[in-house]
C-alpha cells in the first residue's frame, strides 16, 4: 500500500514538470502591444457649406480604439465619431484654424491613452475666393507675341485651376493655361470681354469678366524708290536719319532698281545714297536716287564737291539736315528752270525726280541712258550725251551746289525709240577707292575698228590708253569712259571714285 502511494506521487510530479517545461518553450505566445500614438499629422481645411470627412489614425495599444476631444472644440457643424475616429459634417461658420486636442484610448485592461493637437481651417464660402486681377488686361497687337499675363486669385484653398468660362472666348490666337497664364500671338484686332473662372482645391469657384484690346499692327513706315542712272543700279542703298543713328542698308533689285527701307523709330528727314549718288526724303514715302536727285541735294545744301557731301553724310547734323530738307523744293525749281530744254526734250519738264514714278528705259530714266553725269574732284559737273551723233557733246556744265550758275550746251531731240546698237563696254560700271587700286581694263564690242577711247571730264577725270586701260584720278568723283568706233557709234561706262568706304 505504501509503494502504491509513492508511485502515484511520482507520476503527479512528472506531469507538473512537463507542463512547466512545455509552457516555458511555447514560441507562439503573443507579444506585448506597442506604444499607443495618434499618427494623423494634420487635417485639411475646408469651406463653409462644403461637406467634410477625414478619419483620424492611431497605432500601438490594444484595439479597438475610442476617440474623443480632450481640449478645445471642433469647428461648428463638425463632429467626431468616437468609434471610428472620423471627423465629419458640414461646417457652418468660418474658423481661422483654432487648435483642438484629440485623444485616443485603447481597450487594454489598463487602458492607455495618447493625444495630438490638430486644427481645421474653415473659410467663408464664395466671397473669400476671388480673382484680384483687374480689367482691362494688357493690350496686344496683331501679329506680335502677347506679353504672357499671369492671372491672380486670393482666398480659397490653393492650388487654383483657371479656365475660360463656357460660352466665352479669348481673342483669337491667345490661350489660357490652367496655371492662369494668358499667352500667344493675337491675329484679330478688337476688344474682347472674356469670362474667366478660377477653381480652388475645395472645388470653390468664382468667375470674373476681363477685357483685352488687340490693336491692328501699325503700318510700317517705309521709304522706297528706284535707284538708276540709266540702267538700274545694283548692290545696296543706304540711309542716314537726322539723329545720326547707325546707317541703314537695303538691297537694290538689279532688274528694276527698286529698294525699300523700314524707317520706324528713325528720325526724319533722311539722306539716302546708292554708290556716289544722293537723295533726300522728309518722311515716309517715295525717294528715288538718280543724277538729278544728287544735284538737287547738293544745291539745297551748298555742297561744292563730293568730299564735302560724303563728309556730311557720314556725320549729319540734325539742324543742317532739316535746313537742307526745307530747301529741297527750291532746289527742284532751280533744277527744272536751269535744265528746262533738256527735260522738255524727254517730256519730263515738270517731273520731280525724287518722288515721281520711275520706269526703267522710259521718261527720265531714258534721259539718263542718253545723258551721263560726271563730277570731278573740284565739283565741276558735266552732263554729256553718250549716244547717237551727239555723243561726247555736253548738254550741261556747271558747279556742283549751284545749278543756276551752270549753263546748257547743245540739246537734241532724242529719237522716239532708243537705238539698239548691240554696242557694249565691259564692265559698264566700275567702283574704285581713293588711295587704292585705280586701274581698270575696259573692252568694247560691236564697234567698227579702230576704236578711240576717251574720258570725261577730259581734265581731272583720269586717263585711258588706246587699248582701253583706264587710270582713275586719286580724288572723289564720277567719271565717264567712252569708246567710239570709226563709224561714229559709241558706248560708255561709268567710273565712281569714292573715299572712306563710300563705294558699296
Report pLDDT digits (tens) over 207-224.
999 999 998 877 778 999
- Indicate if 236 and 197 belong to the same structural domain: no
In whole angstroms, how large is the CA radius of gyration of the chain? Answer: 49
Q: What is the pLDDT of residue 278?
A: 96
Q: What is the pLDDT of residue 245?
A: 93
Starting at the earlier edge strand, list the strands of the sheet with 270-274: 248-251, 236-241, 270-274, 277-281
What string of DSSP letters covers 456-503? Answer: ESTTTS-EE-TT-EEE--SS-EEEEEEEE-TTS-EEEEEEEEESTT--
Q: 59 lies in a domain?
A: yes
Q: Residue 24's pLDDT band (boundaries 50, 70, 90)?
A: very low
Kindly tell me if the per-residue pLDDT of 29 is higher than 50.
no
- Indicate if 165 and 262 belong to the same structural domain: no
Backbone angles phi, psi at 23, to 5 degrees: -65, -35
Mean pLDDT, residues 135-145: 88
The answer to whether 258 and 291 have CB atoms below 8 angstroms apart is: no
Q: What is the pLDDT of residue 169?
A: 95
Nearest partner of 456 among 474, 483, 437, judged by Cα: 483
Among residues 339, 366, 393, the one where a domain terminates is: 366
Q: What is the pLDDT of residue 85?
A: 95
Nearest partner of 378 among 454, 461, 304, judged by Cα: 304
Neighbours of 281 (CB within 10 A): 26
Rounded Cα distance, 275 and 395, in Å: 23
Show the domain range for 117: 37-123
- Indicate if 340 and 228 belong to the same structural domain: yes
Helix (H, G, I), strand (E, B) or coil at 306: helix
- Indicate if 342 and 287 belong to the same structural domain: yes
**Residue-wise pLDDT tens digits, 255-309:** 999 999 999 889 999 999 998 899 999 999 999 999 999 999 999 999 999 889 9
DSSP at 33: P
Q: 17 lies in a domain?
A: no
Kindly tell me if the per-residue pLDDT of 11 is higher than 70.
no
Provide the mean pLDDT of the chain.
85
What string of DSSP letters covers 159-203? Answer: SPEEEEPTT--PPTTEEE-TTSEEEE---S-EEEEEEEEEE-TTS
Q: 350 lies in a domain?
A: yes
The three cell numbers of residue 61 are 495599444
Rounded Cα distance, 24 and 32, in Å: 17
- Indicate if 226 and 362 belong to the same structural domain: yes
Rounded Cα distance, 287 and 492, in Å: 27
Question: For every residue of 76-139, which 3-state class applies, written as one string?
Answer: CCEEECCCCCEEEECCCCCEEEEEEEEEEECCCCCCCEEEEEEEEEEECCCCCCEECCCCCCCC
The answer to whether 272 and 294 have CB atoms below 8 angstroms apart is: no
Q: What is the pTM of this model?
A: 0.53
Rounded Cα distance, 336 and 145, in Å: 50
- Indicate if 231 and 322 belong to the same structural domain: yes
Rounded Cα distance, 166 and 6, in Å: 101
Residues contacting 249, CB < 8 A, separation 6+: 236, 237, 238, 239, 504
The answer to whether 238 and 227 have CB atoms below 8 angstroms apart is: no
Q: What is the pLDDT of residue 497?
A: 78
- Indicate if 318 and 240 belong to the same structural domain: yes
- Indicate if 107 and 230 belong to the same structural domain: no
Among residues 215, 240, 269, the one where a domain terminates is: 215
Rounded Cα distance, 445 and 425, in Å: 7
- Per DSSP, helices labelled H in 264-327 are 291-301, 306-314, 318-326
Q: 388 lies in a domain?
A: no
- Indicate if 233 and 333 belong to the same structural domain: yes
Q: 259 lies in a domain?
A: yes
Nearest partner of 373 among 323, 335, 347, 423, judged by Cα: 335
Q: Please state which of the ranges 81-90, 102-111, 325-334 shows the lowest mean pLDDT.
A: 102-111
Among residues 316, 348, 366, the one where a domain terminates is: 366
Q: 192 lies in a domain?
A: yes
- Indicate if 57 and 101 belong to the same structural domain: yes
285 Rama sector, left if φ>0, alpha if ψ -120 to 50, beta otherwise: left
**Residue-wise pLDDT tens digits, 461-481:** 889 999 999 998 887 777 888
Which residue do the cell numbers 585705280 mark?
438
Q: 502 lies in a domain?
A: no
- Indicate if 104 and 134 belong to the same structural domain: no
Q: 352 lies in a domain?
A: yes
- Indicate if 89 and 139 belong to the same structural domain: no
Domain count, the chain: 3
Helix (H, G, I), strand (E, B) or coil at 388: helix
Rounded Cα distance, 366 and 131, in Å: 70
The answer to whether 123 and 48 have CB atoms below 8 angstroms apart is: yes
**Residue-wise pLDDT tens digits, 97-119:** 678 999 999 998 788 899 999 99
Amino acid at each position: 500500500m505504501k509503494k502504491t502511494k509513492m508511485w502515484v506521487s511520482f507520476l503527479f510530479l512528472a506531469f507538473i514538470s512537463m507542463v512547466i517545461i512545455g509552457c516555458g518553450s511555447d514560441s507562439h505566445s503573443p507579444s506585448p502591444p506597442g506604444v499607443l500614438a495618434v499618427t494623423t499629422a494634420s487635417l485639411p481645411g475646408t469651406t463653409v457649406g462644403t461637406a467634410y470627412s477625414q478619419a483620424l489614425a492611431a497605432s500601438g495599444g490594444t484595439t479597438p480604439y475610442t476617440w474623443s476631444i480632450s481640449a478645445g472644440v471642433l469647428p461648428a457643424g463638425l463632429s467626431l465619431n468616437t468609434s471610428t475616429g472620423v471627423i465629419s459634417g458640414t461646417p457652418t461658420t468660418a474658423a481661422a484654424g483654432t487648435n483642438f486636442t484629440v485623444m485616443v484610448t485603447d481597450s487594454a485592461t489598463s487602458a492607455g491613452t495618447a493625444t495630438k493637437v490638430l486644427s481645421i481651417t474653415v473659410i467663408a464660402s464664395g466671397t473669400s475666393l476671388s480673382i484680384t486681377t483687374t480689367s482691362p488686361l494688357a493690350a496686344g497687337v496683331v501679329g506680335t507675341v502677347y506679353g504672357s499675363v499671369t492671372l491672380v486669385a486670393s482666398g480659397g484653398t490653393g492650388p487654383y485651376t483657371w479656365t475660360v468660362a463656357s460660352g466665352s472666348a479669348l481673342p483669337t490666337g491667345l490661350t489660357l493655361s490652367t496655371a492662369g497664364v494668358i499667352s500667344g500671338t493675337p491675329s484679330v484686332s478688337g476688344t474682347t470681354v472674356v469670362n474667366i473662372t478660377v477653381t480652388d482645391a475645395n472645388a470653390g469657384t468664382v468667375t470674373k469678366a476681363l477685357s483685352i484690346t488687340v490693336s491692328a499692327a501699325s503700318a510700317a513706315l517705309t521709304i522706297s524708290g528706284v535707284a538708276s542712272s540709266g540702267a538700274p543700279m545694283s548692290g545696296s542703298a543706304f540711309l542716314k536719319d537726322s539723329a545720326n543713328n547707325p546707317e541703314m542698308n537695303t538691297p537694290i533689285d538689279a532688274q528694276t532698281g527698286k529698294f525699300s527701307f523700314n524707317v520706324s523709330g528713325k528720325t526724319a528727314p533722311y539722306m539716302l545714297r546708292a554708290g556716289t549718288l544722293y537723295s533726300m526724303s522728309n518722311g515716309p514715302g517715295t525717294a528715288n536716287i538718280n543724277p538729278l536727285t544728287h544735284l538737287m541735294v547738293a544745291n539745297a545744301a551748298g555742297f561744292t564737291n563730293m568730299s564735302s557731301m560724303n563728309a556730311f553724310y557720314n556725320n549729319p547734323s540734325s539742324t543742317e539736315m532739316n535746313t537742307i530738307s526745307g530747301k529741297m523744293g527750291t532746289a527742284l525749281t532751280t533744277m527744272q528752270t536751269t535744265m528746262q530744254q533738256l527735260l522738255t526734250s524727254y517730256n519730263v519738264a515738270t517731273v520731280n525726280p525724287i518722288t515721281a514714278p520711275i520706269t526703267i528705259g522710259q521718261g527720265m530714266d531714258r534721259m539718263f541712258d542718253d545723258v551721263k553725269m560726271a563730277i570731278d574732284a573740284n565739283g565741276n559737273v558735266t552732263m554729256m550725251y553718250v549716244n547717237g551723233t551727239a555723243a561726247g557733246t555736253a548738254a550741261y556744265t556747271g558747279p556742283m551746289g549751284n545749278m543756276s550758275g551752270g549753263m546748257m550746251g547743245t540739246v537734241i531731240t532724242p529719237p522716239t525709240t532708243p537705238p539698239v546698237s548691240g554696242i557694249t563696254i565691259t564692265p559698264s560700271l566700275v567702283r574704285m577707292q581713293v588711295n587704292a587700286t585705280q586701274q581698270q581694263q575696259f573692252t568694247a564690242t560691236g564697234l567698227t575698228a579702230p576704236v578711240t577711247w576717251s574720258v570725261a571730264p577730259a581734265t581731272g577725270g583720269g586717263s585711258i590708253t588706246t587699248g582701253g586701260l583706264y587710270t582713275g584720278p586719286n580724288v572723289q568723283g564720277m567719271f565717264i569712259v567712252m569708246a567710239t568706233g570709226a563709224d561714229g557709234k559709241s558706248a560708255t561706262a561709268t567710273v565712281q571714285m569714292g573715299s572712306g568706304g563710300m563705294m558699296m
